């Protein structure tokens, strides 16, 4: 991505100090999503990354991963699959419980959403510590698709979130802080 595009996108992301707790600098992507030009730039950059890879499904992580994931699925003519918190999906699901900084959390995906013929992109808006996406990767990987790519709009590199993934995982972030 060109430096000018990176600077443009970073300029519309709002920094909120001490949210959700003191000492945290929160990168608020809602200001990027509401900016039509910035949203189009993100969509174009994500599409360019994956357009020739035969992607059949994009999996978005609740909730902000639904935004970019849906846009990416549409751009690639692929299906969209949500990963949600427990009890939110209506059909038979598989679940993964994982450790967070202060306890555990669980995510679910429909059991019939991924097949061995699928090439999948897992998408979320931001990579911090990587716990949720690592759990999502394990869920999807257990369904044995042909290939899994992992994509973020923003990566907070000082939190070392990439270490949450196995070495063979292909992780791409558009913007790195």
Q: What is the CA radius of gyration of the chain?
A: 16
CA end-to-end span of the chain: 15
| Enzyme catalytic residues | 64, 101
Quickly list DSSP for 113-131.
Answer: S--TT-EEEEEEEEESS-H
DSSP state for residue 84 in the 8-state scheme: B
| 36-50 and 65-76 helices, crossing angle to 10° | 60
Q: CA nearest 59: which of 46, 73, 49, 48? A: 73
């Amino acid at each position: 991505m060109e430096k000018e595009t990176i600077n443009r996108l970073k300029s519309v992301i709002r920094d909120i100090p001490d949210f959700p707790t003191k000492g945290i600098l929160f990168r608020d992507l809602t200001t990027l999503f509401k900016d039509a030009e910035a949203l189009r730039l993100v969509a174009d950059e994500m599409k360019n990354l994956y357009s020739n890879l035969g992607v059949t499904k994009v999996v978005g992580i609740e909730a902000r991963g639904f935004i970019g994931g849906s846009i990416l699925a549409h751009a690639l003519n692929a299906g969209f699959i949500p990963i949600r918190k427990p009890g939110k999906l209506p059909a038979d699901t598989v679940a993964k419980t994982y450790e967070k900084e202060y306890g555990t959390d669980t995510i679910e995906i429909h059991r019939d959403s991924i097949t061995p013929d699928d090439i999948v992109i897992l998408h979320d808006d931001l990579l911090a510590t990587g716990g949720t996406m690592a759990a999502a990767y394990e869920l999807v990987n257990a369904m044995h698709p042909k290939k899994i790519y992992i994509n973020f709009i923003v990566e907070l590199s000082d939190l070392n979130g990439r270490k949450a993934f196995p070495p063979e995982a292909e992780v791409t972030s558009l913007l790195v802080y």
